[in-house]
């Protein structure tokens, strides 16, 4: 039987990051992906590396550590990932939201985020495409952006240079165990023996975990993003709105229809990504036209410059939601050698580099990162609640 030191299931940005960092340790690595590399959740997300949107405390600490890795990641991976430290804004549309966002800024500043409140004129000076009816915005120079597809491919290619094998179109159909230890996987292209199996399949992680007898409380949260025709530079850095923040953290007193909140970013080629919705609807990928229309209406109200822009396609994907908003990065307590790195929801891009580092340190049992890993354990009490 074929063997490997470590098998990674899932070829998105999290799986390829793990493949790269684990392969750097000299282990033989095989990454398995049922489709194309980066074609699932990582292909249906925006390009934001947002720090100011994270909850104060541990989420901010984790995001800042990941953000610091991005500073030199293009050089490390030897490829362009279109990383740009252009800052980010959260638009405040209504006067009644202003007091809430003032408190938000104070909390984020106390948590160590370099963020400030802008009035209407300051916000429009940074983003001329925004509507003149907004009351202001927050701004943080620490926010950045990256191309998720290029990032995923760059991690995969760098992993290959460290002798990892990347196998697309190879689905896992079973995980084998003996005496509560992982022994390998069975795939559509044969079996592979290994004492380390890493589940990095995002919203599909519960299905993979079930094969090993492990229960995961991760839910798919469907999101849709619109993609425009190529435009001249229109959006500078990343733009969210206060409604997006409340929808993301389930804090809205009157949740918007379909969980819609503004998310804008423009690629190097000129396409603008307009999002996004957040819905719990199982694994049903088909999105009603009224959801897409609602996203477009919300975006054109806040950014009238996009009102007559053609939409050339849409992206729909599932964000892996956890009840406490933190990913799960842990070894299953009852199945030695079975590791989980999933549940990042909308933070997968921002947290991809630190996730690869943490999984590697978890496998190596390095004491240095144990403090960071504690809040990400599988069996924390807040994770035992049913959805």
Superfamily of domain 2-44+149-216+324-374: FAD/NAD(P)-binding domain (3.50.50.60)
* CA distances (Å), origin 16, targets 36, 120, 349: 12, 41, 12
The structure tokens listed for 314 are 């849409």
Question: Quick one: pLDDT at residue 154?
Answer: 98
Please state, in angstroms and rounded to a whole number, the distance separating the CA atoms of residues 232 and 83: 19
Out of 3.40.140.10, 3.30.9.10, 3.40.109.10, 3.30.1360.40, the CATH code matching 88-141+219-321 is 3.30.9.10
| CA 199 and chain centroid, separation | 16
Tell me the mean pLDDT per 10 residues along the chain, length 387: 96 98 98 95 87 91 96 97 95 87 92 95 97 96 95 98 98 98 98 98 97 95 96 95 71 75 93 94 93 96 95 95 94 97 94 97 88 86 42
CA torsion 103-109-114-115 (nearest 10°) is: 0
Question: Quick one: pLDDT at residue 128?
Answer: 96
Residue 283 pairs in a beta bridge with 281
Please state, in angstroms and rounded to a whole number, the distance separating the CA atoms of residues 7 and 196: 6
Please state, in angstroms and rounded to a whole number, the distance separating the CA atoms of residues 91 and 245: 10
Write out the residue limits of the CATH 3.50.50.60 domain(s) in the chain: 2-44+149-216+324-374
Question: Quick one: pLDDT at residue 127?
Answer: 97
Write out the residue limits of the CATH 3.30.9.10 domain(s) in the chain: 88-141+219-321
The DSSP letter of residue 307 is: T
């Amino acid at each position: 039987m074929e063997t490997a030191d470590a098998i990674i299931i899932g070829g998105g940005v999290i799986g390829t990051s793990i493949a790269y960092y684990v392969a750097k340790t000299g282990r033989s690595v095989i990454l398995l992906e049922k489709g194309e590399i980066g074609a699932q959740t990582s292909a249906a997300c925006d390009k934001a590396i947002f720090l100011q949107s994270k909850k104060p405390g541990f989420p901010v600490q984790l995001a800042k550590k990941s953000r610091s890795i991005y500073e030199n990641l293009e050089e490390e991976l030897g490829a362009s990932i279109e990383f740009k430290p252009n800052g980010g804004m959260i638009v405040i549309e209504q006067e009644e939201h202003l007091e809430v966002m003032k408190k938000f800024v104070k909390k984020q500043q106390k948590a160590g985020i370099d963020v400030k409140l802008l009035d209407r004129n300051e916000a429009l000076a940074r983003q001329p495409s925004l509507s003149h009816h907004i009351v202001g915005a927050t701004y943080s120079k620490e926010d950045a952006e990256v191309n998720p597809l290029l990032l995923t491919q760059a991690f995969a290619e760098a992993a290959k240079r460290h002798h990892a094998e990347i196998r697309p179109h190879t689905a896992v159909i079973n995980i084998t165990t003996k005496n509560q230890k992982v022994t390998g996987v069975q795939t559509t292209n044969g079996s592979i023996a290994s004492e380390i199996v890493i589940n990095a399949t995002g919203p599909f992680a519960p299905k993979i975990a079930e094969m090993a007898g492990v229960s995961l409380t991760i839910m798919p949260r469907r999101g849709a993003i619109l993609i425009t025709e190529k435009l001249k530079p229109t959006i500078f850095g990343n733009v969210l709105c206060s409604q997006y923040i409340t929808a993301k953290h389930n804090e809205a007193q009157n949740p918007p229809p379909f969980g819609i909140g503004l998310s804008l970013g423009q690629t190097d080629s000129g396409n603008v990504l307009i999002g996004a919705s957040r819905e719990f609807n199982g694994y049903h990928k088909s999105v009603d036209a009224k959801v897409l229309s609602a996203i477009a209406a919300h975006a054109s109200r806040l950014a009238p410059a996009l009102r007559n822009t053609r939409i050339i396609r849409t992206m729909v994907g599932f964000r892996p939601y956890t009840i406490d908003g933190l990913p799960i990065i842990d070894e299953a307590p009852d199945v030695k050698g079975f590791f989980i790195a999933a549940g990042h929801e909308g933070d997968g891009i921002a947290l991809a580099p630190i996730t690869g580092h943490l999984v590697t340190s978890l496998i190596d049992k390095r004491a240095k990162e144990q403090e960071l890993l504690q809040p990400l354990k599988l069996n924390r009490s807040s994770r035992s609640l049913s959805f």
